[in-house]
Amino acid sequence: MTRVLLIDDHPIILQGCRYLLEDAGICELLEASSALAGYRLFRRQRPDMVIVDLALNGSGLAGLALVRRLRAQAARMPILVFSMHADPVIASRALEAGATGYLLKDTSAADLLEAFDKVRRGQPYISHDLALEVALLATRGRAGFMANLTPRELQVLALLAEGRAYGQIADDLGVSYKTVANTCSQLKGKLGATNLAELIHRAIQYLAGSPGGRQS
């Protein structure tokens, strides 16, 4: 029986995945609702596979850092990102961080089981609606607009899209106010924004305004 660690802060998602996977008789599910709890459980239990959300406890795209950390600990661990972010740039970043597959949360039960089965066997998987966009990302205008952002910049941009102030972002990420302000200055230059209002507009347009929206 495959032992799976599911890291997600949405109780309904946890419950739904547990019922679906256990009823299919294909796994034993371990659950965590934060990145820290998930990482600790991973270290203690050493599951066969991890399914992880990208935004945990309102922390922007902190799940990307968790994926990177898990991958550093287990080079061959199957990792499936289960996210509401339908942006191909974010999907690409998750795969670059070490995810084996990327699945949208508005998927069908059949797609979830297909993704689970493929990723469990070490095969890559991307949600059907995203696959072509990810494959063509290098030729799209939005790729040039966002693909050169660092993980920290993308995380801050996601929190700006959620309406967070600098101080709140600093608290969420565990960094100084000055670090957030400097990161936003870098973002303005990279994204062609002349002031904070324009930067927030771009953040909403490209993150909160995407089909992935606010959720993770």
CA–CA distance, 82 with 84 (Å, rounded to integer): 7
Confidence of residue 119 (pLDDT cuts 50, 70, 90): very high
pLDDT at 107: 85
Question: Once rounded to an integer, what is the mean pLDDT over residues 177-187?
Answer: 91
Confidence of residue 207 (pLDDT cuts 50, 70, 90): low
pLDDT tens across 123-158, in order?
999 987 787 777 666 445 454 556 677 878 888 888
Domains of the chain: 2-137 (3.40.50.2300), 142-208 (1.10.10.10)
pLDDT at 31: 92
The whole-model pTM stands at: 0.67
Residue pair 120/51 in contact by the 8 Å Cβ criterion: no
